[in-house]
Amino acid sequence: MLISKKQSLFSWVERLPRPLAKVVSNPFVVSAVVGVGIWWLLAGNVIEFLPTPYQVAGAFVGAITSSEFYIDMAITLRRVLIIAVGAWLLATILGIAMASSWPIETAINPLVFIGLAIPAPLGIYFAILIFGLGELTSIIALFVIVTPYVAVIIYGGAKARDKRLVEMAAVFRFSRWQQLRDITLPELAPSLMSGARFAFAMGWKLVVLVELLSSNVGIGERLQYFFVFNQPARVIGWTLTFTVIMVFVERYVFATLEKKLLAWRPIEDAGKGMAPVA
Amino acid sequence: MTVVPSDHFINIEDVFFSYPQSNLLALDGASLSVKRSEFACILGPSGCGKSTLLNILSGLFVPSKGRVTIDGDVVFNDGQMASGKLPRIGYVFQDDRLLPWRSVRQNIELALKSAAIPKSEWDGLVEHFLGLCGIGQYADTWPGNLSGGQRKRAAIARAMAIDPTSLLMDEPFSTLDEVNARFLRRELLELWQKTKQTILFVTHSVREAVYLADTIYIMTKGPGKVMERLTIDVARPRQYEDPRLTEIEGSIISSVLNYWGYYEPTAVQG
Amino acid sequence: MSAQNAVLTGPRDRSFKISGMQVKRALLIAGLVAVTLLAWQLLWDKTDWLSSPAETWVFFVETVCNPATYSNLAATASRLFIGLFIGYIAGLTAAFLMHKSKWWDRFTRPYVFIALSTPALAFCLISLMVFSLSDLGVYMAIAGTVFPFVSISLLAGLNSIDAHLTEMTEVFRFSWFDRLWHQAIPDMAPHLFSAFRNVHALAWKVVVLAELFSAQNGIGYQYKRAYAFFSTKRLIVWSIFFMLMVMIVEYGILRPLERVVFRWRK
Ligand SMILES: Nc1ncnc2c1ncn2[C@@H]1O[C@H](COP(=O)(O)OP(=O)(O)O)[C@@H](O)[C@H]1O
Ligand SMILES: [Mg+2]
C-alpha cells in the first residue's frame, strides 16, 4: 500500500535522466529544498522580522570574508580549548576520586548537584561579582559551569567498572602498570571520550553566553552587538559559522579519535555523548 | 499434493515463504492439515520453519504462494490475504510474551477485550482458565514475580480464554525443567480433553510429540517442507514412560536420523 | 505462606531502616554545611560583594511573603510550559519521521543535528529578534533548544520497543489504543522519563536565559535586576526559588509518577 503510493507520488522522478533522478530523490536534497522553501515563504510575510535565506547567506559570506571574524573566532576558540581541556582534566580527577572514596563522593555530590541545577547566567554573574570583568572571569565561569557535567559522566563510567576484570588481573598477577594500561584505561576510555566530547560541545555553546555577559571581545560579544542593533540576519549568519565548526570537530576530530580508541566496542554504543546543554 | 479431506479444520497447502530482507526460503512448499479437536504436533529440528508456520497461521505474515484455510474459510491464497477477518486464534509463543507491567489478570483481560468478548464475562473466564491452569491465586500478580512455569501457564490461560478456533503452541515447554514440563504436558492434555480445542503444537522433542499427539507432522531439516505424517494410535490417558511410546519414538528417531543429522538427547533413556 | 503473600501483594514495602553508612554520610554533609555557613559568616565582611547570611535570610523571608514573587514564578513557569509543549510536539514529529524509514530519517536528521549544535543563546537571540521580544519569542527559543533532545530520546525509545510484544498484540488483535497505552508507552517509559528529566532541566535554564534579554518579569528578569544592583543576596534567593521549582517537579510529579509506572518492577 505505502510502497505503491510513494511510487505514484514520485513516478515523475523515474522519467528523469539517471544522475539527475538520483540527486532529486536524495533525502538530503529534498530536505534542504523543502526547509529553505518553507523558510523563504515565511520570511518577511508570515513572520515579519525573519530574514530571508538570501539575507542570511549574505551575512554568512560577509562574516567569513571579514578579518574581524577570524580575530574574534580565534579568541573564542582559544577560550573553548582552555576550558574544555581544563574542565575535562579536573572532572576526570573528581570523577575517579568520587567513584573510589565515599567521603569524597558524599562531599562532592551536593556540589555537583547544585552545579547541574543552577542556570548558567547565575554562575557568570557570580564570577563577575567576584573577579570583575575580564578574561579570567570568562574562563573561570565557564570552567565552573562545565566541570560538574563532565564529572558526572566520568563518575558514572568509573563507578560501573567491572570488578571481575580486576579479580582476573589479580589472579594472573598483572603488574600495576599493566593493570592501568590494559584494564583501567580501556575501561574508562568510553566515558573519558564522551566526557571530552561533552566538555567541548558544552564549552562551545556556553562560551558565547559568557562572552556576551562578561567580555568585550569574542563571538559572543559580537552577537550581542548585532542583537542590540537588531540585525537578525547577521546573528543567524554568525551562528551558522559556529555550527559548521562544531560539526567539523564532531565529525572529523572526535569521530576519528573514537574510531581509533574504541574500535573494540560493539557498534550500537558508539557515537553517544551529545547531551543537553543550555 | 495430497487431497485434503473436507473434515480437516486447518489446511495448509503448498505454502512458500521467505522473510523480508532474506533470500532464503523459510517455507518451501509446506503442506499439512489438522482435524477439528485434534491434537497435532509439528516435529522438526530448530531452524526448520516451525515457528514460521505458526506465524503464518496466526496472521503475522502472508505466505508468498500457497493456500491456507481454517474452518472452511480461505485465509491466504497465493500471496493474498483473503478478504474478511482472520479467525480468532490463541497463540502460546515460545517465550511467554506477557506484558510485564500488567498483572496476569490484566494481560488476559486485554486479550479478551481485543477478542470482543463482553466485559460481563471477563471475571468468570479469567478465574476459570487460571484455575484450570492451576495459578488462580496469582491473578493479581505481575508476571515478573512468577516463575517461568507459572508464566507459561498464564500464557496458556490467555490463549485458551479467548475461545479460539484453534490453539497454536510454539515449544511452550522447551525452556522449563523436565519435571515441570512433564507436569504441564499432563495438565495440557487434561485441559484439552475438557475444552476440545484444536491444537497445533510445535516441538523439537520426539518424546514430547509422541506423548501428546494424535498426529505428528515431521519436517525436514532444510528449508521447511513437511516430510511425513504419522498417527499415534496409543489410547489416552497415556503414560510418559509407556513402552509403546518408547518404541514409536525409537522408530521415528531412526528414520529421521539421516535427515536431521543430530540426536535428540531424551532418546537415550528409553 | 508469607512468601506467597509477598508475591501476591506485589513489590515489598520499603522498610525505613537506616544503615550506619547513611548516618555517616548525613553527618559529613551536615558538617560541610556548617563549615560553609561559618566561612560565609566570617568572610562576608572582608569582601565588598558578598551579603551577610543574616541579610540574605531576611531578604529570603521578605521575598517569600511578597505576593509579587509568585507572579514572577508563575510567569516563568507558564513560559516554560508552553515552550516545552511546542518543543515536545516538534520532537515527537521528528522522532516518528526518523523511525518511519531510512529515507525519512535522512530527511529529518539534518534539522535535528543543526538544532543540536546551535547554542541556546543563539536560539534566544534569534527568536527574540524575530518575534520582537514577545513571549512568543521565549516559547520558540525553548522549543528550538529542547526539540532535538526530545526527538533523539524518543527515537531511542521507539527503537527499544520489544518487537516480540508487538507481534503478540497483533496476534491477539489489540486495538491501536491498547497497543499504545498497554504496550508501546510502558515499553518506552524509561526513555520517556529520562528524556523528560533532561529536557525539563534544560528548558528551565533556557527560559531564564531568554527572560534575561526580553521579559519584564520572571526569574531571569530578577537575575538581571540582582546583577544591576550588585546584590548577591538577590542572586542567591532567586536561585533558591529556581531550585525549588525544579525540585517540586522532580519530587512532586516525576518521582511519584515513576513509582506508579514502575511498580511492576521487582
Ligand atoms: N525474522 C527473521 N528474519 C529472517 N529470517 C528468519 C527470521 N526468523 C526466522 N528466520 C529463518 O527462517 C528459518 C526458519 O525459522 P523458524 O521458523 O524460526 O525455525 P524453528 O521455529 O523451526 O526453529 C530459519 O532458517 C531462520 O534463520
Ligand atoms: Mg522456533
Query: How many angstroms separate the CA atoms of A200 and A251, rounded?
Result: 13
Helix, strand, or coil here: A217? coil
Which are the contacts of A164, defined by CB distance < 8 A and separation ≥ 6?
none
Q: Answer whether C3 touches B (CB < 8 Å).
A: no
**Which residue's alpha carbon is at the smallest distance from atom 6 of ligand 1?**
B19
Which are the contacts of C180, defined by CB distance < 8 A and separation ≥ 6?
none
- pLDDT tens-digit profile of B27-72? 988 899 999 999 999 998 888 899 999 999 988 888 999 889 888 8
- For the complex shown, is ipTM > 0.85? no
Q: What type of residue is C98?
A: M
Asked whether the beta carbons of B139 and B147 are under 8 A apart, the reply is no
- Chains touching chain A through at least 3 C-beta pairs below 8 angstroms are C
User: Where, residue-wise, is CATH 1.10.3720.10 in chain A?
Assistant: 60-269
Query: How many angstroms separate the CA atoms of C56 and C37, rounded?
Result: 12
| H or E element at residue A255 | helix A255-261
Per-residue pLDDT band for A215 (boundaries 50, 70, 90) equals confident
CB contacts of B100 in chain C (<8 Å) are 264
pLDDT of residue A272: 42
Query: How many angstroms separate the CA atoms of C9 and C3, rounded?
Result: 10
- pLDDT tens-digit profile of B90-148? 999 988 899 999 999 999 999 999 888 999 999 999 999 998 888 999 999 999 999 98
Flag whether pLDDT at C11 surpasses 70: no
Pairing state between β B65-70 and B89-92: unpaired
Question: Dihedral, CA atoms, B95, B98, B101, B104, nearest 10 degrees?
Answer: -130
Query: How many angstroms separate the CA atoms of A127 and B106, rounded?
Result: 57
| Nearest beta carbon to residue C201 from set A30, A243, A276 | A276
Which are the contacts of C138, defined by CB distance < 8 A and separation ≥ 6?
C79, C83, C124, C127, C128, C207, C210, C211, C214, C215
**Residues β-bridged to residue C234:** none
In DSSP notation, chain B reads: -PPPPTTEEEEEEEEEE--TT--S-SEEEEEEEEETT-EEEEE--TTSSHHHHHHHHTTSS--SEEEEEETTEEEEETTEEPSSPPPPEEEE-SS----TTS-HHHHHHHHHHHTT--GGGHHHHHHHHHHHTT-GGGTTS-GGGS-HHHHHHHHHHHHHHT--SEEEEESTTTTS-HHHHHHHHHHHHHHHHHH--EEEEEES-HHHHHHH-SEEEEEPSSSB-EEEEEE--PPSSPPTT-HHHHHHHHHHHHHHHHHH-S--GGGTT-
Q: With CA atoms as reference, report the closest residue to B110 among B126, B124, B96, B86.
A: B126
CB count within 10 Å of CB B33 equals 20
Q: With CA atoms as reference, report the closest residue to B37 among B197, B236, B160.
A: B197
Going by beta carbons, is chain A in contact with chain C, meaning 3 or more pairs sit under 8 Å apart?
Answer: yes
Give the pLDDT mean for C80-96.
Answer: 93
pLDDT of residue A94: 92
Q: What is the mean pLDDT of chain C?
A: 86
Q: How many helices (H) and strands (E) does chain A have?
A: 15, 0
Which are the contacts of B262, defined by CB distance < 8 A and separation ≥ 6?
B45
The CA-atom distances, in angstroms, between A95 and each of A98, A254, B263, B269 are 5, 21, 55, 59
Residue that wins the pLDDT comparison between A13 and B112: B112
Give the pLDDT mean for A194-211.
Answer: 88
First to last CA, chain A: 44
| H or E element at residue A167 | helix A163-171
Cis peptide bond prior to B237, omega within 30° of 0: yes
Per-residue pLDDT band for C50 (boundaries 50, 70, 90) equals confident
Minimal C-alpha gap between C86 and chain B (Å): 30
Query: How many angstroms separate the CA atoms of B126 and B109, rounded?
Result: 7
Answer whether B110 sits within 8 Å of C174, measured CB to CB: yes
Query: How many angstroms separate the CA atoms of B24 and B26, rounded?
Result: 6
Question: Could you give the angle at the alpha carbon of B60 between the alpha carbons of B54 and B65, nearest 5°?
Answer: 75
Q: Is the CB of B26 under 6 A from ligand 1?
A: yes
Answer whether B101 sits within 8 Å of C164, measured CB to CB: no
- pLDDT tens-digit profile of B189-207? 988 988 888 999 999 899 9
Query: How many angstroms separate the CA atoms of B115 and B92, rounded?
Result: 16
The DSSP code for A47 is: B
Q: Which of B4-13, C22-31, C139-148 has the highest mean pLDDT?
A: C139-148
Q: With CA atoms as reference, report the closest residue to C243 among C196, C193, C208.
A: C208
In DSSP notation, C73-128 reads: HHHHHHHHHHHHHHHHHHHHHHHHHHHH-HHHHHHHHHHHHHHHTS-HHHHHHHHH
pLDDT of residue A268: 47
- pLDDT tens-digit profile of A123-171? 888 888 888 888 888 899 999 999 999 998 899 888 877 777 777 777 7
Flag whether pLDDT at A9 surpasses 80: no
Answer whether C232 sits within 8 Å of A28, measured CB to CB: no
Q: How far is CA B8 from the centre of its chain?
A: 17
Q: Answer whether C249 touches A (CB < 8 Å).
A: no
Q: Answer whether C232 touches A (CB < 8 Å).
A: yes
Pick the CATH number of A60-269 from 1.10.3720.10, 3.20.19.10, 1.10.260.40, 3.40.50.2300: 1.10.3720.10
Q: Answer whether C241 touches A (CB < 8 Å).
A: no
In DSSP notation, C12-64 reads: PPPP----HHHHHHHHHHHHHHHHHHHHHHHHGGG-SSPPPHHHHHHHHHHHH
pLDDT of residue A244: 87
Cα of B48 vs centre of ligand 2, distance in Å, is 8
pLDDT of residue A266: 56
Residue with the three cell numbers 584494564:
A183
| Ligand nearest to the Cα of B170, by number | 2
Q: What type of residue is C156?
A: A
Asked whether the beta carbons of B29 and B66 are under 8 A apart, the reply is yes
Q: Is the CB of B50 under 6 A from ligand 1?
A: yes
Query: How many angstroms separate the CA atoms of C168 and C163, rounded?
Result: 9
Q: What type of residue is A50?
A: L
The CA-atom distances, in angstroms, between C130 and each of A50, A51, B81, C123, C134 are 5, 8, 54, 10, 9
C-alpha cell at B164: 479460539
The DSSP code for A215 is: -
| Ligand nearest to the Cα of B93, by number | 2
Which are the contacts of B96, defined by CB distance < 8 A and separation ≥ 6?
B143, B148, B151, B152, B154, B155
Asked whether the beta carbons of C197 and C257 are under 8 A apart, the reply is no
Best C171, C178, C187, C265 residue to mutate vs chain B (most B CBs within 10 Å): C171
Give the pLDDT mean for C181-198.
Answer: 89
Residue with the three cell numbers 514409536:
B248
Flag whether pLDDT at B255 surpasses 70: yes
Maximum separation of any 2 CA atoms in chain B, in Å: 55
Query: How many angstroms separate the CA atoms of B266 and A260, rounded?
Result: 50
Answer whether C104 sits within 8 Å of A27, measured CB to CB: yes
C-alpha cell at C86: 511546542
- pLDDT tens-digit profile of C114-156? 888 888 899 999 999 998 888 899 999 999 999 999 998 899 8
Q: Is the CB of B223 under 6 A from ligand 1?
A: no
Q: What is the mean pLDDT of chain B?
A: 86
Flag whether pLDDT at A275 surpasses 70: no
Residue of chain B whose Cα is closest to the Cα of C261: B101
Percentage above 70 pLDDT, chain B: 93
B175 CB-contact burial (10 Å; exposed 0-12 / middle 13-18 / buried 19+): middle
Give the pLDDT mean for B74-99.
Answer: 84
The CA-atom distances, in angstroms, between B207 and each of B46, B91, B214, B259, B264 are 16, 22, 13, 18, 9
Helix, strand, or coil here: A266? coil
Asked whether the beta carbons of C40 and C51 are under 8 A apart, the reply is no
Question: Dihedral, CA atoms, B114, B119, B125, B130, nearest 10 degrees?
Answer: 70
Interface of A with C in 245-264 (CB under 8 A): 246-247, 250
**Which residue's alpha carbon is at the smallest distance from atom 16 of ligand 1?**
B49
- pLDDT tens-digit profile of B213-226? 999 999 988 778 88
pLDDT of residue B6: 55
- Chains touching chain C through at least 3 C-beta pairs below 8 angstroms are A, B
Asked whether the beta carbons of B26 and B223 are under 8 A apart, the reply is yes
- pLDDT tens-digit profile of C202-218? 899 899 999 998 878 88
Q: What type of residue is B64?
A: S
Residue of chain B whose Cα is closest to the Cα of C170: B60
Give the pLDDT mean for B232-249.
Answer: 90
B94 CB-contact burial (10 Å; exposed 0-12 / middle 13-18 / buried 19+): middle
pLDDT of residue B8: 81
CB contacts of C172 in chain B (<8 Å) are 91, 110-111, 114-115, 158, 162
pLDDT of residue C175: 92
Cα of B87 vs centre of ligand 2, distance in Å, is 22
Q: Answer whether C87 touches A (CB < 8 Å).
A: no
pLDDT of residue B263: 46
B237 CB-contact burial (10 Å; exposed 0-12 / middle 13-18 / buried 19+): exposed
**Residues β-bridged to residue A236:** none
pLDDT of residue B54: 92
